[in-house]
Amino acid sequence: MERIPILRMGDFLLVTIQVDMHDRLAMTLQDDLTTRISKTGATGVLIDISALEIVDSFIGRMISNISAMSRVLDAQTVIVGMQPAVAITLVELGLTLPGVKTALDVEKGMQMLRVIGGGSVVPPESDGDDDRQEY
């Protein structure tokens, strides 16, 4: 079955959406992320939507759900890279995405996650003694 890959970067999970998702694929991503967060104990989730050409109410609901579900699992979700035309359209569609954190790009999103969660982007199996970055 077609799936959107979830990459692990230390305490964070990174998802880059690169395809025009049909609804079931979006639902699968939501379920996969839930499983991965609880399995890995990730403290942050970064979803890069810079390649997404639209966000309709279904994708909007998926984003809200992922964000709410990750909070329940003690992780934070940041959506990064929303195209300006998508943002403008979202507002007119009537979607407000309350409680959903956004950042301009992956780097800023990562920074945001570190500040909120105090997690590390260095994989746990790395040789560093204490690479944990505290803010």
Partner 1 sequence: MATMIVRSTETLPIRAEADVVMVRQKARAVATEAGLGLVDVTKLVTATSELARNALIYGGGGTALIESLQDGIRKGVRLTFEDQGPGIPDIEKAMTDGYTSGSGMGLGLSGAKRLSNDFSIHSVVGQGTRVMIARWK
Q: Which stretch binds partner 1 (CB under 8 A): 31-39, 57-65, 70-78, 126-134?
A: 57-65
Among 17-25, 34-42, 115-123, 124-132, which window interacts with partner 1 (CB under 8 A)?
17-25
CA distance 84 to 55: 11
- Reference 79, options 115, 61, 105, 118; nearest CA is 105
- Residues 78-117, interacting with partner 1 (CB under 8 A): 83, 85-86, 88-89, 92-95
For position 54 contacting partner 1 by CB under 8 A, the verdict is: yes
Cα–Cα distance, 8 to 68 (Å, whole number): 20
Please, what is the minimum distance in Å from the beta carbon of residue 68 to partner 1? 14
132 interacts with partner 1 by CB under 8 A? no
Asked whether position 9 contacts partner 1 by CB under 8 A, the answer is no
Q: What is the residue-wise DSSP string for 51-68?
A: T-S---HHHHHHHHHHHH
Q: Is 53 in the site for partner 1 (CB under 8 A)?
A: yes
Count the residues of the shown chain that bind partner 1, applying the rule CB under 8 A: 22
Please, what is the minimum distance in Å from the beta carbon of residue 61 to partner 1?
Answer: 5
Closest CA to 63 of 52, 118, 2, 111: 52
What is the contact surface with partner 1 in residues (CB under 8 A)? Answer: 20-24, 53-58, 60-61, 83, 85-86, 88-89, 92-95
